Structure 1
């Protein structure tokens, strides 16, 4: 596997000429107090890494909580594209809200700050970026939006079950004119999700491009930068097999378009 972890790297590797570099940025590599949750998250994150490698990327995996935000920016400075994956709630101070809400998880403030900075830089540079679950929420907060701190249980996650059964299957309708619909080849798809928060006020430059049956925003796109966030987990074991490869391929397509525009 063409992958490096924080423990072995000091900078992004030099990609082969035919392999662009993909930074997969997770929250943390250590949750000793929550082993079952950690194992689930690690399985999902490893699936993104494996899919990136299979899709032709040189993949670098980084844990934002284990780095200063400035170091995370330095280590990803030459990345061709970024994926921000799932994890804990974002500290509400980053979107002007209070703690103490229902279902609140632990917060990793350095991870929040680092990932927010990654999104802001991607928007400025036009770096292709995909946010998955928490990653969508990071995108929204980074661009000035906020979050609904707790949503009623229903279709978005299974409650009162072991962690391996928490993912819920439901339909999502995509805007027909969206880049996401073009990438996935359909306007109605089945997804796997497990979240208790959702997009509230949209961040600057973002537009909603997918909704769940209850009307919640399930995906956003930036109007000018190649940034997409999906609230579901395309890397989940029971998700349609093509979803994650197609989303990663859309990052490569965005990179190709960007390189062609610079060369013109």
Structure 2
């Protein structure tokens, strides 16, 4: 953790901010500069909003660090966000390569992020997964994915220019879920771009949000402070209140874990 700066001449000691590890796939995509630039705007937004809420937010690239180093540098994190990005290698969930719409895979990122989820479960570290991160949670806990969805007129977009893939649609929250409590509502208008989805739900997870066609849009662990959302609250075109609500949920969970320690 790092302490906030104290103004010159001030005798006040400012408490250290809790560390939030924002874990992305990679910091380098020379093969896909347009996609990479768009992903940067998403991850930058997570950090901006987290800092505004009082976190010491640090971006970490799982695929560049490798699993062992990622676990080391996140060891003291108060909470974790696993951000969006490339498809998980289907080997991680018992699928096969060669599926429609298959993109590049980053096996190092897969291994590191899956290990983070499993450690978070053991330690009760608050963790939020967004899009790919939501799918990582499911796979880490033994779930599977639908390898490809492509509905040009609906909530799933499998191909096209990255800027055109985001779709606004409604989700319905399960009454009594943590995410419903954070939003203060049983419904929300969200912004998504994905061509894969949770299929079989991982051990200990509950589905707490769905689309009108039944697609899984959010999961929560029954006992650990782990939440995954399929949509992109960090997109610049999304409702500006949604990401702070989810980050505040993480903060509340981190405070609860600290009190129990």
**Bin of the TM-score, shorter chain as denominator length:** over 0.9
- Deviates further, 14-23 or 95-104: 14-23
Please list, as runs of the form range in 1=range in 2, the aligned pairs for 1:140-155 lying within 5 A after superposition: 140-153=138-151, 154-155=153-154
Gaps of 5+ in 1: 1-12
Q: CA deviation at 1:15?
A: 4.5
Residue 11 of structure 2: aligned partner = none
Residue 14 of structure 1 pairs with residue 13 of structure 2: no
Kept in 1: contact 2:25–2:109 (CA 8 A): yes
Report the RMSD for the aligned CA atoms in angstroms.
Answer: 1.2
Kept in 2: contact 1:156–1:196 (CA 8 A): no
Residue 261 of structure 1: aligned partner = 260
1:95-154 deviation per Cα after TM superposition (whole angstroms, max 9, x unaligned)? 111100001110000000000000000000000000000000000000011101012314
Residue 31 of structure 1: aligned partner = 29
Residue 190 of structure 1 pairs with residue 189 of structure 2: yes
Gaps of 5+ in 2: 5-14
Q: CA deviation at 1:238?
A: 1.6
Whole-Å Cα distance in 2 between the matches of residues 234 and 122 of structure 1? 22
Structure 1 residues 177 and 107 mapped into 2: Cα distance closer, same or farther (>3 Å)? same
Q: CA deviation at 1:18?
A: 4.6
Residue 177 of structure 1 pairs with residue 139 of structure 2: no
| Deviant stretches of 4+, over 4 Å | 158-161
Structure 1 residues 159 and 114 mapped into 2: Cα distance closer, same or farther (>3 Å)? closer
Residue 65 of structure 1: aligned partner = 63
1:42-97 deviation per Cα after TM superposition (whole angstroms, max 9, x unaligned)? 11010001111111000111000101201000000000000000000000111111
Q: CA deviation at 1:159?
A: 5.9
Kept in 2: contact 1:133–1:233 (CA 8 A): yes
Please list, as runs of the form range in 1=range in 2, the aligned pairs for 1:41-52 lying within 5 A after superposition: 41-52=39-50
Residue 86 of structure 1: aligned partner = 84
Whole-Å Cα distance in 2 between the matches of residues 159 and 257 of structure 1? 39
Whole-Å Cα distance in 2 between the matches of residues 229 and 135 of structure 1? 7
Q: CA deviation at 1:157?
A: 3.8
- Which protein shows a greater Rg? 2
Kept in 1: contact 2:88–2:106 (CA 8 A): yes
Kept in 1: contact 2:18–2:55 (CA 8 A): yes
Whole-Å Cα distance in 2 between the matches of residues 68 and 135 of structure 1? 17
Whole-Å Cα distance in 2 between the matches of residues 33 and 198 of structure 1? 25
- Deviates further, 96-105 or 149-158: 149-158
1:168-207 deviation per Cα after TM superposition (whole angstroms, max 9, x unaligned)? 0000000111000001111110000000000011111000
Residue 116 of structure 1: aligned partner = 114
Whole-Å Cα distance in 1 between the matches of residues 78 and 202 of structure 2? 23
TM-score, length basis structure 2: 0.93
Residue 7 of structure 1: aligned partner = none
Whole-Å Cα distance in 1 between the matches of residues 101 and 2 of structure 2? 42
> Aligned to 1:30, what secondary structure does the other structure show?
coil
TM-score, length basis structure 1: 0.92
Kept in 1: contact 2:19–2:56 (CA 8 A): yes
Q: CA deviation at 1:161?
A: 4.4
